[in-house]
Amino acid sequence: MKQAIAFIIALLCVSSVSAQTETHDTLSSRQLDEVVVKGEKPQVRAEEGIMVVDLPGIVRDKPVNNILEALGYLPGVTNNNGMIGLSGASNVTIILNGEPTNMPLQNLYQLLYTTPVDRLKNVEVMYSAPAKYHVSGAVINVVLKTPTPLDGLQGQVRAGYNQSHYGSYGGALAATYAIKDWTFDLNYGLTRSKSWSREETWSNHLYDGKRTIIEDDMRRIGQNWSNTIFASAAWKTLKLTYNGQIVSDSKSWNLSSGTLGDYTNAYNMRSPVGYHNIALRYAAPFGMTVGGDYTCYSENRSQSLFKDTDYLLGSENRQDIKRWHVYVDQEHQLGKWQLNYGAEYQRSKDHSSQHYGVVGMADNPDFDDTLKEDVASFYVGTQRSFDWGLSFNASAKGEYYHSEYRHNWNFIPQLGATYYKTP
The tens digit of pLDDT for each residue in 163-185 reads: 999 999 999 888 999 998 999 99
Does residue 197 have a pLDDT over 70?
A: yes
pLDDT at 423: 61
Does residue 39 have a pLDDT over 60?
A: no
Residues 87-128: pLDDT tens digits?
Answer: 888 888 899 888 877 788 878 888 888 788 888 999 999 888
3-state SS assignment for residue 24: helix
Half-sphere exposure of 38 (CA within 13 A, CB side): 2
Percent of the chain with pLDDT over 70: 88
Q: How far apart are CA 396 and CA 405, in angstroms?
A: 27
Stronger pLDDT, 388 or 284, i.e. the higher one: 284
Instruction: Please name the helix (run of DSSP H) or strand (run of DSSP E) that holds residue 112, with its range, or none.
Output: helix 105-113
Taking alpha carbons only, the member of 293, 313, 315 closest to residue 305 is 313
3-state DSSP of 50-107 = EEEECHHHHCCCCCCCEHHHHHCCCCCEEEECCEEEECCCCCEEEEECCECCCCCHHH
3-state SS assignment for residue 11: helix
Cβ proximity of 70 and 122 under 8 Å:
no
Does residue 273 have a pLDDT over 90?
A: yes
Residue 137, domain member (yes or no): no
Residue 164, domain member (yes or no): yes
Residue 50, domain member (yes or no): no
Residue 405, domain member (yes or no): yes
pLDDT at 26: 44
Residue 223, domain member (yes or no): yes
pLDDT band for position 316 (cuts 50, 70, 90): very high
Q: How many structural domains does the chain have?
A: 1
Does residue 13 have a pLDDT over 80?
A: no
Calculate the alpha carbon distances from 408 to 348, 399, 411 in Å: 17, 8, 10
pLDDT at 32: 57
Stronger pLDDT, 128 or 16, i.e. the higher one: 128
pLDDT band for position 24 (cuts 50, 70, 90): very low
Question: Which residues have CB under 8 Å from 200's CB, separation 6+?
Answer: 215, 216, 217, 218
pLDDT at 14: 45
Residue 238, domain member (yes or no): yes
Full residue range of the structural domain in which residue 234 is found: 149-419
Calculate the alpha carbon distances from 37 to 43, 204, 398 in Å: 19, 72, 52
